[in-house]
Chains A and B, each alone.
Chain A
Amino acid sequence: MIRRILVPVEIYRNQVTDLTREVLAAARVVGGEQCEVVACVFGEPPPEAVARLQVADRILILRDGQVGQPVAIAQAAVLSRRLAQLGVDVVFVGSSSWGLDLAPLLASFVDAPLIANCQNLECTTEGLRATCRICAGKLLVDVEIGQRLAVVLLLSGSYARYEVPPGKGVIEKCEVAPEEWDARVTFLRWVEPAREDIDITQESTLVAVGRGIERQENLTLAEELAEALGGVVCGSRPVIDQGWLPPTRQVGKSGMTVKPKLYFALGISGAPEHVEGMKDAELIVAINRDERAPIFNVAHYGIAADLFDVVPAIKEALVARRQEV
């Protein structure tokens, strides 16, 4: 029986992140109706942000001073001192860059077990059960813990489509003394990438390349296909890390999240970090030599063949089709 789940809220660019909303929904789904969901906000939130937190029963706002700075270690320390008195059973944290710092630090500060890479959760009479996804998505581990304070890092995706009713949404404010704030880490500013490049999140057709493209020069294959489709080329992390495409073209967990009408995945295996960034595309076509590549679990249509053979054929078929019209 879980009586109270606390969800630390991530506010980024003045908005509650989609992942936070998903984690709140997860808390409601997993905790059930008897469970109280507490959204914990660091610093005074912008008014529009509060509206997005209505799923919670309580919205706890910790203020003031630097608490809103995105410094996970300091925020974890502040939160750690309040979990016991709040009577929290489990803390659900979204697996974002901020969450990946916050959750393990918090777990250590309160000497609670941490369950990371969690893709779904279940509340039982004895405690909590979870399924963790590890080894680039190839291995699953079912775990459980007994009744005790625990911290869970939730991967995005499993609870994204749940529509949950609003909670009581009671707002409370709590003061944080300046001495509480760990000043050994400070946030200076955001560094934006050079924006001369295309914004792939605004494109309706994307042709993505992964390691399977093998060499930089083979990008022309993808570019030609993109051109034939009226779209733009993007890539998974390895392609960007090699410098073959700029970071603004990266799709995935630490890149962009895209929701185009059409997404071609060429030579992409389908590791979770990439899939996270494109799984909501309306139509996903994957081409990969390995018929067991995880990308085929996400794609709508798949071709298990050599992309160097198939892509030129597709381009030709497109050209032929246009000529018919």
Chain B
Amino acid sequence: MSGNASSSLSGTRVAKFYEMLFSPLEGSTAWACMQCGLCSSSCPLGDAMEYPPRRIIAEAWNGSLERVIRSPSVWMCVGCYTCSYRCPRQLDLTDTVWPAVRDYALQEGIQPPAELRTAFQNLYLYGNVFGYSPRKRLEWTKNLEVAVRDLSKIPERVEVLWLVGCYPSYHPRNQVVARAMARILTALGVRWGILGKEERALGDCDRLFGEEGLFEMLVENNRRLFERFEFEKIVLLDPHAFRALEKFYPRFGAVLPAEHYTTFLASRLDQIRPWLKNPIQARVTYHDNCCVGRRCRCFEPPRQLLQAIPGIELVEMRRNREHALCCGGGGGGMWLDAFITEHGGRRLSDVRIQHALETGADILAVSCPFELSRFEDAAKVAGAEDRIKVRDILELLAESMGLGEGGG
């Protein structure tokens, strides 16, 4: 269904699409593709895609995008970076080709799946994917015993501007993790602040979904917002948001020092170690998130944190580090499980939980907000909630530091 009566490709939109593919800002030009198919065969959903990355590029060479953008496979990429990681010609597939195709589809009036539409609408209207009021962003701090510096109310110079993120702010399961982070930062004597009700999504999800215009809007608003505050660095819980700040915001003139919490805390391990008094006697396996892990080749800091906790026996899943299997939540995947399963794919978290169970681990440790609910669901579906618990690294640290919920 196209917004225009004629289905011919509009001149400027096509030109923009081709520029993104053949003169990309990062990675090789699509002309360099050698059609080896490594991307398609590596893609965890490749066999369900009518047009996996290789075919998209082939069609782009021929200028025959009509069918590609009308195919459901346009919405099936979950942003796991496996194809980008493996491409022998270094095409920036995940961050450039996929958003380009999706952006083009949207411009041509192709309607994204309904749940994605709602997520976009909510981001646009309320600055979070849930459609909750921005005024409710501080509800996670209710009854929190440590002081919260709300910079939007009282601007002051801080060391760390902590961008809490939408899931930790609003979602009950993730709010526990937010509180753990607050307590840990305070215990370490870090001078930290948050943006309170003025915080909005950074926009990475929609950027990957192809909603470039929405991303630009969010970047502009956020850039103006950050300019009002003084801080040394930004720390984030969400690897996707970290990626947006690190890789894409500079393209809009917003160059901000940013770290994911795992690297931030790992660099302070010497300060943290004395606090880790309570042992956690458990076998723990760690799931590498895609954005900080495979994309940034950053695998050790989360493991250092876990290994510092007394009592933890760290075991690895057979697919780990750069070979980790994505949970399926990125690139819009959080909203597209039904769509993906309807079109021949499967929920990747259901597959990944089996990898975790195979290790005999008691705890599956994660460091991305999506993963918490995805893996807990997967454990339930597998009937394994008694065998394996899912915990964010922050929850485990807090517990060992005596800073857990209810002071435990």
A and B touch in the complex (CB under 8 A): yes
Chain A residues with CB under 8 Å of chain B are: 215-217, 242-243, 289, 306, 308, 312
In the bound complex, CA of A312 to CA of B172 (Å)? 17
With A243-B114, A289-B172, A306-B172 known as contacts, the answer to whether A217 contacts B338 (CB < 8 A) is: yes
With A242-B114, A243-B114, A312-B380 known as contacts, the answer to whether A215 contacts B172 (CB < 8 A) is: no
- Does A216 contact B172, Cβ atoms closer than 8 Å? no
For A215, give its contact among B173, B338, B380 (CB under 8 Å). B338
- Does A216 contact B380, Cβ atoms closer than 8 Å? no
For A217, give its contact among B172, B173, B341, B380 (CB under 8 Å). B341
Residues of B within 8 A of A308 (CB): 373, 377
Residues of B within 8 A of A217 (CB): 337-338, 341
Expressed in whole angstroms, the minimum distance between the Cβ of A113 and any Cβ of chain B is 35
* A interface: dominant SS: loop
Expressed in whole angstroms, the minimum distance between the Cβ of A271 and any Cβ of chain B is 15
Give the total of B residues in contact with A, Cβ under 8 Å.
11
Residues of A within 8 A of B114 (CB): 242-243
Residues of B within 8 A of A312 (CB): 380
Expressed in whole angstroms, the minimum distance between the Cβ of B378 and any Cβ of chain A is 13
Residues of A within 8 A of B373 (CB): 308
A242-B115, A243-B114, A308-B373 known, 7 other contacts, Cβ within 8 Å:
A215-B335, A216-B115, A216-B338, A242-B114, A306-B173, A308-B377, A312-B380
Expressed in whole angstroms, the minimum distance between the Cβ of A307 and any Cβ of chain B is 11
Considering the complex, which residues of chain B in the window 151-192 have a beta carbon less than 8 Å from any beta carbon of chain A?
Answer: 172-173
Residues of B within 8 A of A243 (CB): 114
Closest to B113 in A: A216
Residues of A within 8 A of B335 (CB): 215
In the bound complex, CA of A26 to CA of B172 (Å)? 45
Residues of A within 8 A of B338 (CB): 215-217
Best-buried of A216, A243, A289 by chain B (most CB within 10 Å):
A216
Expressed in whole angstroms, the minimum distance between the Cβ of A261 and any Cβ of chain B is 29
Residues of A within 8 A of B337 (CB): 215, 217
Bits for B76-116, please: 1 = Cβ < 8 Å to A, else 0.
Answer: 00000000000000000000000000000000000000110
In the bound complex, CA of A215 to CA of B116 (Å)? 10
Closest to A312 in B: B380
Bits for B369-390, please: 1 = Cβ < 8 Å to A, else 0.
Answer: 0000100010010000000000
In the bound complex, CA of A308 to CA of B337 (Å)? 16
Residues of A within 8 A of B172 (CB): 289, 306
In the bound complex, CA of A312 to CA of B114 (Å)? 26
What are 10 A-B contacts defined by CB distance under 8 Å? A216-B115, A216-B338, A217-B338, A217-B341, A242-B114, A242-B115, A289-B172, A306-B172, A308-B377, A312-B380
In the bound complex, CA of A308 to CA of B172 (Å)? 11
Closest to B335 in A: A215
Residues of B within 8 A of A289 (CB): 172
Closest to A215 in B: B115
Closest to A218 in B: B338
Expressed in whole angstroms, the minimum distance between the Cβ of B56 and any Cβ of chain A is 26
In the bound complex, CA of A242 to CA of B373 (Å)? 23
Considering the complex, which residues of chain B in the window 316-372 have a beta carbon less than 8 Å from any beta carbon of chain A?
Answer: 335, 337-338, 341
Residues of B within 8 A of A216 (CB): 115, 338
In the bound complex, CA of A216 to CA of B347 (Å)? 14
Expressed in whole angstroms, the minimum distance between the Cβ of A17 and any Cβ of chain B is 34
Residues of B within 8 A of A242 (CB): 114-115
Closest to A217 in B: B338
Residues of B within 8 A of A306 (CB): 172-173
Expressed in whole angstroms, the minimum distance between the Cβ of A219 and any Cβ of chain B is 9
In the bound complex, CA of A306 to CA of B380 (Å)? 15
Residues of B within 8 A of A215 (CB): 115, 335, 337-338
- Cβ-closest 9 pairs across A and B: A217-B338, A216-B338, A217-B337, A242-B114, A306-B172, A215-B115, A215-B338, A312-B380, A215-B335
Expressed in whole angstroms, the minimum distance between the Cβ of A159 and any Cβ of chain B is 35
In the bound complex, CA of A215 to CA of B358 (Å)? 29
Expressed in whole angstroms, the minimum distance between the Cβ of A15 and any Cβ of chain B is 37
Closest to A238 in B: B118
Closest to B118 in A: A242
Residues of A within 8 A of B380 (CB): 312
In the bound complex, CA of A308 to CA of B174 (Å)? 14
Closest to A289 in B: B172
Expressed in whole angstroms, the minimum distance between the Cβ of B166 and any Cβ of chain A is 14
Closest to B376 in A: A308
Expressed in whole angstroms, the minimum distance between the Cβ of B328 and any Cβ of chain A is 12
Expressed in whole angstroms, the minimum distance between the Cβ of B134 and any Cβ of chain A is 16
Expressed in whole angstroms, the minimum distance between the Cβ of A247 and any Cβ of chain B is 16
Closest to B115 in A: A215
Expressed in whole angstroms, the minimum distance between the Cβ of A56 and any Cβ of chain B is 47
In the bound complex, CA of A308 to CA of B173 (Å)? 11
In the bound complex, CA of A289 to CA of B373 (Å)? 16
Expressed in whole angstroms, the minimum distance between the Cβ of B398 and any Cβ of chain A is 21
In the bound complex, CA of A215 to CA of B114 (Å)? 10
Expressed in whole angstroms, the minimum distance between the Cβ of A216 and any Cβ of chain B is 4
Expressed in whole angstroms, the minimum distance between the Cβ of B210 and any Cβ of chain A is 20
Residues of A within 8 A of B377 (CB): 308
Closest to B172 in A: A306
In the bound complex, CA of A289 to CA of B335 (Å)? 20
Expressed in whole angstroms, the minimum distance between the Cβ of B101 and any Cβ of chain A is 24
Expressed in whole angstroms, the minimum distance between the Cβ of B349 and any Cβ of chain A is 12
Considering the complex, which residues of chain B in the window 230-254 have a beta carbon less than 8 Å from any beta carbon of chain A?
Answer: none
Closest to B336 in A: A215
Closest to B114 in A: A242
Expressed in whole angstroms, the minimum distance between the Cβ of B116 and any Cβ of chain A is 11
Closest to A219 in B: B338
In the bound complex, CA of A217 to CA of B172 (Å)? 20
In the bound complex, CA of A325 to CA of B373 (Å)? 34
